[in-house]
Amino acid sequence: MGTRRREVQTVFNDSSQPVIMVESGYENPNSEQKYNKNKKGSFHWDIWLFLALDNWIFDFGRPIVALFVPLEWSPLNKPSVGDYFHMAYNVITPFCLLKLLDRCPRKPSPTLVYLSIIIFVMGASIHLVGDSIDHRLIHVGYQLHLSVRDNPIMQLLEPPELVDSFELLYSYDEEIGHLMWYIPFFFSLVLYFYGCFQHNHLNETYKTGLAWWSLMSVSAVYYWYLVTEGQIFVVYFITFIAMIVTILIRKSQKMSLDVNGRFLMYTFSVTLVLTIVWVSVLWNDETLRIKYPGLIYVPEPWAYYTLYLK
């Protein structure tokens, strides 16, 4: 599937009547169409760096700020500083994704792009509310390494049916919100990744230096946090497999990744290694095993923090 294109042509038939012809479809991925000179062989330093800063400051830094900023600055019945970080993330991240997709050498379908971004914003906004309340509960004794119903403060609620409401809140935060947030996020990256291939004889060599590898490593560590804390290993792994399959298909067509595609591929590869190491270290932890039963065992970093470091 190549880039979707529409061409409208006006021609005249024998009776001099204008006829409008509309051509719609995808470019042949095997064609040797040259890319835009501004996009060919260039690494998007501005977008990747801005996205990394956005992720680390407004996503990773959000719960840290919410925990350690004095309560006098943001009482429990008011939005915390972390909530404002989340609001900034919900605006900046989709903007970065749109700019990234706009620079894709082979433009993806606008419909898919718009739907992905709309669902992303909706999911991230749902998560904003649930996560805000969950992290405020930590200040009154809520323990993240325990399930909602097993938390001591939940067992003191009257009537006991109130616990059901908090379980619903947890579901919106950790399940519905995460899926509606991360599935379109990774799907947008796959859409971009699909367009990062060039024919081997057209692919320009880009020399990667220390800064490039440092940015890739920093991004990979963040995605490790995203996969583990967001409990989205399945979504991430499916995305990673889709990227590998795409590489194999394109390789058979004598096409290879450009520098931006390699950046994404290396980032996701290092993320997988870090996740495997994280799971291996905590594999025999009996306490975390209770909260994360089942075949896929990927503990959350914040659950580890409240259990051993707080």
The amino acid at 310: K
Tens digits of residue pLDDT in 174-186: 889 999 999 999 9
Write out the E strands in 201-295: 255-257
Tokens of 142: 């809520």
- Between the alpha carbon of residue 95 and those of residues 88, 111, 199, 292, the distances in Å are 11, 16, 30, 34
Using a 10 angstrom Cβ sphere, with 0-12 exposed, 13-18 middle and 19 or more buried, the burial of residue 110 is: exposed
Contact 2, 28 (CB under 8 A): yes
**Spatial distance between the Cα atoms of 250 and 30, rounded to a whole number of angstroms:** 9
Q: Span 138-162, mean pLDDT? A: 85
Reported as a pLDDT band with limits 50, 70 and 90, residue 203 is low
> Which residue would you say has higher pLDDT here, 199 or 3?
199
pLDDT at 27 over 50: no
Of all residues in the chain, the percent with pLDDT exceeding 90 is: 51
**Residue keyed to tokens 């749109």:** 98
Which pLDDT value is given to residue 201? Answer: 66
Structure confidence at residue 51 (pLDDT) = 96
Instruction: Answer with the residue of higher pLDDT: 207 or 57.
Output: 57
Residue type, 257: L
99 or 292, greater pLDDT:
99
Which stretches within 104-159 are classed as H helix? Answer: 110-137, 152-155
Lowest-pLDDT choice from 138-147, 215-224, 256-265: 138-147
From the centroid of its chain, how far is CA 232? 10
Choice between 196 and 134, residue whose per-residue pLDDT is larger: 196
Q: Structural domain boundaries of the chain?
A: 4-27+44-202+211-309
Highest mean predicted confidence (pLDDT) among 139-153, 199-213, 275-289: 275-289
Identify which has the larger pLDDT, 28 or 222: 222
How far is CA 154 from each of CA 118, 163, 172, rounded to the nearest angstrom?
Answer: 35, 6, 18
pLDDT for residue 202: 66
| Token pair recorded at residue 151 | 């938390």
pLDDT of residue 204: 65
Beta bridge partners of 255: 199
Q: What is the pTM of this model?
A: 0.80
Bridge partners of residue 270, in order along the sequence:
none
Q: In whole numbers, what is the pLDDT of the chain averaged over residues?
A: 85
**Residue 11 clears pLDDT 70, i.e. is over it:** no
Q: Do 54 and 86 contact (CB within 8 A), yes or no?
A: no
Residue type, 218: V
Q: What is the pLDDT of residues 38-90, one digit of tens each?
A: 444 589 999 999 999 999 999 999 888 877 888 788 888 888 888 999 999 99
Beta bridge partners of residue 18, listed in sequence order: 12
The region of weakest confidence among 123-127, 177-181, 306-310 is: 306-310
Which residue in this structure is represented by tokens 């991230």? 124
Instruction: Give the per-residue pLDDT at 12.
Output: 47
60, 32, 42, 27: which is closest to 100 by C-alpha?
42
For the segment 254-303, what is each residue's pLDDT rounded down to a tens digit?
A: 899 999 999 999 999 999 999 999 999 999 998 898 888 888 899 999 88
CB atoms closer than 10 angstroms to residue 247: 17
